[in-house]
């Protein structure tokens, strides 16, 4: 792992308290602490699914040497190119630098949703309402 992480902090916060330009979920490094921020969803299970997605995405991306700046730069450019989004997910795009991390995180998120008998489409619809497509990070 290119970054040394000695602690992971997961906090549930209000969407308006996210970093500017971020909707629903976010991760970043602060010294040796991986900071994960997610909004509270309609159920505790859904909130934890989103938190697990963000944590997994961050760990995989960091292991690949992908920086928060690379993620943010890609996401901001993607948002400019697709202002109406229409269900597009930056992390699913073929040129996305963190595609592998996003897809791995989504797979784990889906397994957790299945284990908890969550309706994936309803969960995904809820994420879309807060500007976070299928557990998408940093947009």
pLDDT in tens, 1-44: 567 899 999 999 887 777 766 667 889 999 999 999 999 999 99
Query: How many structural domains are present in the chain?
Result: 1
Residues 6+ apart with CB under 8 A from 106: 53, 91, 134, 135
| Residue 58 confidence class, pLDDT cut points 50, 70, 90 | very high
On whether residue 101 sits in a domain, the answer given is yes
pLDDT score recorded for residue 138: 38
Range of the domain at 41: 7-135
Residue 1 lies in a domain: no
Three-state secondary structure call for residue 32: coil
Q: Considering just the CA atoms, what is the radius of gyration of the chain in Å? A: 14
What value does the mean pLDDT take over residues 49-56?
95
Taking residues 51-63, report their average pLDDT.
94
The pLDDT > 90 percentage for the chain reads: 54
Query: What sections of the chain are H helices per DSSP?
Result: 44-63, 68-81, 99-115, 120-129
Banded model confidence at residue 135, pLDDT cuts 50, 70, 90: very low
Residue 81 belongs to a domain = yes
SS3 category, 35: strand
């Amino acid at each position: 792992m290119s970054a040394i992480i000695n602690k992971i902090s997961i906090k549930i916060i209000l969407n308006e308290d996210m970093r500017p330009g971020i909707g629903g979920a976010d991760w970043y490094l602060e010294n040796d602490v991986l900071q994960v921020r997610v909004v509270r969803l309609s159920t505790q299970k859904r909130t934890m699914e989103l938190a697990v997605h963000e944590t997994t995405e961050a760990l995989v991306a960091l292991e690949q040497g992908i920086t928060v700046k690379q993620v943010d730069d890609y996401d901001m450019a993607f948002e400019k190119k697709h202002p109406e989004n229409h269900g597009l997910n930056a992390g699913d795009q073929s040129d996305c630098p963190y595609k592998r991390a996003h897809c791995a995180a989504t797979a784990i998120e889906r397994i957790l949703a299945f284990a908890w008998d969550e309706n994936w489409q309803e969960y995904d619809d809820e994420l879309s309402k807060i500007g976070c497509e299928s557990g998408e990070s940093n947009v």
